[in-house]
Chains A and B, each alone.
Chain A
Amino acid sequence: MVCFIFILLRISPGDPSLKFVSPELNPGLAQKIKESFGLNKPIAEQFIQFISNIFTGNFGVSYEFRKPVAGVIKNYLYFTFVFSLISFIIQITISYFLALLSVKKINGIVDRFLNKTSLVLYAIPSFVLGVFLIFIFSEKLKLLPASGLMSYDSESLSGSARITDYFLHMILPVITLSLGGIAVFYKYLRDNLDEVFNKPFVLNSYGYGLSKKEITKKHIIPNAISPLISIAGVELGILFSGALITEVIFGLPGMGRLTVNAILSRDYPLVVGCTFISGVLIIISNLLADLLKAEIDKRLIAGMIN
């Protein structure tokens, strides 16, 4: 993957040293900086150097930050990891309970309301939602901060006040990032639950005298949730790659912003580093989802063994 990205970057137009081209700067400076980036060497030589570095876990030095790529990514990854995980847990939990609420009476008032609301939430672009939430909760109600990760003087706050400060700063971004996901997961789970409810084995279970609660817990949910886990694995991977729009609107230091800025400024080593990390996280997320599916439905393991 990283080889593909390396080649793609080098054949695409753009020059990282153009940032240093300005009437106020000496024209020779851009050339000197280009040399210091090693971009004056033949592509083949750059590629061999790049590959040998990759095997030692070295992605090179970022052109923008002038620091090792791993160090730069580490600073952004930590936030993205926490932020994505919180949002993911919220998405799964809320959609789960809403779906259960919905299937209590299919086509009832609650079900219809949730169905329609989920469609609306899914259709709202996150940049509209983010700006709307800022307008309501920051500008009008003055309840929550409009952007940033913390207040300037958060360091002078006591432990609990600092946690509250972080918490308050995270509310709007987490809502913005999560609402769309909640709508998707809800819809998916609700339809699955409805489908499983109508399967003959459910009627059979009633015949055995099992209560509705028991049937739902032991048979319906495990059957309905399995396909959702695959989708959740993909979604978690995407979240780990960064939530660009939310990060930009709320001024958050996430992987999405880092990756896009690296692409725009042609920071080749950083682009490769970000892509690599995103790829690894997507693979891990999907692997976790598969393992979880196998844990819930043992037949999958049996099938694999057979």
Chain B
Amino acid sequence: MKPKQVFFCIVLILAIYLPSCVNNNHEKNDRIVVAIPADAESLNPLFAFSFQEVNITELLYLSLVQHEWNDSDGDVKTSPMAAKNWVWNDDSTTITLNLRDDINWRDGHKLTAEDVIFSFDVYSDPDVQSRFFGTFNKFYLEKDQHIDLQKSFDSDNPYTIKIHFKPHSNPGLVDIDPPILPKHVFSNFDRKKFVQLEKGNDSVTCGPFYLSKWNPTQSIILKADENSFLYKPGTVKELIFKVIPDYNSRVTQLKNGEIDLMENVKPDQLSDLKALNRIKISAVKGREYDYAGWNNKIDLFSNPKVRNALTYAINREEILTEYLGNNGDLAVGPVAPIFKDSYNHNLKPFDYDPQKAKELLASDGWEDINKDGILEKNGVQFSFILNYAGGNPRREFAATVIKNNLKAIGVDVKAEPLEQGVFMEKMFTHKLNAWLAGWSVPIPIDLKPYWYSDLKQGSFNLTSYKNSTVDELLDKIEKSKPGSLKNELYKQLQEILYQDEPVSFLYWIDNNVAYNDRLENIKITPLGSVHHCWNWSVKN
């Protein structure tokens, strides 16, 4: 046989053989494949720092209570999980919880009050350096912020636990929701070395799913624990998180049916995906916003009039339409519209009004004296550098629009990208004068770190904004129980921030989640795309 004939035969064999070899098992009836852009670093709830890791660990470990997003109220609704019921004492300083007695760890041990106390113990232990360290301010604490176990917990039987909080600390159910850890597993190790525990130790779980296999950098495979009280027959039995770093590969695999769900679909791809009848899009209203930060301490941006002028001068609508394809909303402040009761509906977004911007700047003494197209005041030109983290096309686009918009009112802006690590360091050390960045509003809302004048408590007040009324409101909010009073305080706070405009609030960004229409009972909320996914099923 001649070489050409051999070559032709090989090609023919491969053409017949390859399609039969491709593993098409991904579309199994009880399996769902979710794309993730990066592998988890830890599935141990102690060290699950990223949002993605938190979402996955919530499927592996139970908490005392669970949260669900309530669309009509725009807030979370809390319901029982490991605790079947609870009662608060009269002054809300002690909560007595009755635990379910039908929860087993994967190795057969029962989940008891000892596990709960142990969990709070290690979460607050400074030697462990867990993600919850330093967040138990409402508990009785020792000097090193470790929870005082004697004062904080009582348990007279394995399924009842009392948790005591500091007087007037105004505790809530969100303060007792960290995932519960197995004491009988973790107590065998040195706490200082928890962080270095091999991944296999993540396998003793009690949640609706258990970790079946973790292929580092490739996939995380969870299987439904059919003994869990959360398991319902007919629901998903296998949940695979497939690591696909490249965005285009994620889209291709969604179209192919290799994956069932992906988050953060770019607006320009939505119509393509919608055209495929078997892909559904869920646009989750955002709790993440972009802003242009102004260093309130420097003369250039110290006057609220100037900051207002800058917001008037920026055509945010253009960015929202051109780049985000209207997948978002103009922002008026730091409370997202999804928090319906706390959001101040009376505030209307600043219009794009360059003329008004010019007038405001003129009233503050800025004018183009030497007719070079740039405003001056006291011999200083209105000129600054706008930094942003490179590699983010949305911010690059926004920076260009802002630069051009501000030039039109006589403000000279140089848009300069910085490497992500450099940008973050400079931003957190208050070394930037103007920058583009974004925040994600936590659930439940907590605005004190962002706007409080005392930078020890307001460690994310990166603009160095100062307003004593805002401080008072934030203190009151901290001490208020959820309800109409707290919501009213939030509305007042938004009004002041709207007037002061410490940053130019740009837009809230929707999270577009695309998924295969074979998924049923799926409800995607601001709490995460796979939140409560043990209720999902797959169409037969």
Contacts and interface: CB of A to CB of B under 8 A. Distances in A.
Contacts of A253: 216-218
A33 B218 contact: no
A14 B422 contact: yes
B242 A148 contact: yes
Nearest to A245: B246
B468 interface: no
B133 A152 contact: no
B88 interface: no
A251 B425 contact: no
Nearest to B39: A253
Contacts of A44: none
Contacts of A24: 135, 442
B185 interface: no
A257 interface: yes
A42 interface: no
Contacts of A23: 439, 442, 446, 449-450, 460
B69 interface: no
Interface in B16-48: 18-19, 21-23, 25-26, 33, 41, 47
B258 interface: yes
Given A67-B196, A266-B421, A134 B249 contact: yes
Contacts of A8: none
Query: Which has the most chain B C-beta neighbours within 10 Å: A18, A33, A61?
Result: A18
Given A152-B242, A257-B245, A142 B256 contact: yes
Nearest to B17: A164
A45 interface: no
A40 to B, nearest CB: 14
Interface string A145-177: 111111111110100000011001000000000
A15 B419 CA distance: 12
A264 B421 contact: yes
Contacts of A252: 217
A155 to B, nearest CB: 7
Contacts of B421: 13-15, 18, 264-266
Given A23-B442, A28-B133, A155 B243 contact: no
A94 B460 CA distance: 57
Contacts of B22: 142-145, 168
A266 B423 CA distance: 13
Interface in B414-430: 419-422, 424-426, 428
Contact of A147 (B253, B420, B450): B253
Interface string B344-388: 000000000000000000000000000000000000000000000
A253 B214 CA distance: 14
A97 B419 CA distance: 44
Nearest to A25: B131
Contact of B26 (A33, A66, A75, A152): A152
B195 interface: yes
Interface in B56-86: none
Contacts of A266: 421
Is chain A's interface secondary structure helix, strand, loop, or mixed overall?
loop
Q: Which residue of A64, A153, A250 has the most chain B CB atoms within 10 A of its CB atom?
A: A153
A277 interface: no
B210 to A, nearest CB: 16
B49 interface: yes
B503 interface: no
A28 B134 contact: yes
A148 B219 contact: yes
A36 interface: yes
A29 B41 contact: no
Given A66-B196, A251-B218, A25 B135 contact: yes
A251 B243 contact: yes
Contacts of B439: 23
B126 interface: yes
Nearest to B456: A27
A21 interface: yes
Given A144-B22, A146-B253, A26 B133 contact: yes
Interface in A53-95: 61, 64-67, 75
A139 interface: yes
A244 to B, nearest CB: 10
A20 interface: yes
B244 interface: yes
B129 interface: yes
A257 B218 CA distance: 13
Nearest to B131: A25
B218 A150 contact: yes
A28 B217 CA distance: 30
Nearest to A137: B18
A180 to B, nearest CB: 18
A249 B37 CA distance: 11
A145 B23 contact: yes
A18 B462 CA distance: 14
Interface string B284-315: 00000000000000000000000000000000
Interface in B229-257: 240, 242-246, 248-249, 252-253, 255-256
Nearest to B426: A13
B135 A26 contact: yes
A16 to B, nearest CB: 9
Contacts of B243: 148, 251
Contacts of B195: 66
B425 A168 contact: no
A28 B428 contact: no
Interface in B383-429: 419-422, 424-426, 428
B252 A135 contact: yes
B425 A18 contact: yes
A10 interface: no
Contacts of A151: 23, 25-26
Interface string B422-453: 10111010000000000100100010011000
Contacts of A65: 41
B221 interface: yes
Q: Which 5 A-B pairs have the closest CB atoms?
A: A26-B134, A14-B421, A253-B217, A151-B23, A13-B422
15 contacts: A23-B439, A23-B450, A23-B460, A24-B135, A25-B49, A29-B131, A29-B133, A32-B129, A66-B195, A75-B216, A134-B248, A138-B252, A148-B244, A250-B246, A251-B218
Interface of B: 18-19, 21-23, 25-26, 33, 41, 47, 49, 126, 129, 131, 133-135, 145, 195-196, 213, 215-219, 221, 240, 242-246, 248-249, 252-253, 255-256, 258, 419-422, 424-426, 428, 439, 442, 446, 449-450, 456, 459-460
Given A21-B424, A67-B196, A145-B22, 17 more contacts: A15-B424, A21-B428, A23-B446, A24-B442, A27-B456, A32-B129, A61-B196, A139-B256, A145-B23, A147-B244, A147-B253, A148-B243, A155-B213, A168-B18, A249-B249, A251-B218, A266-B421
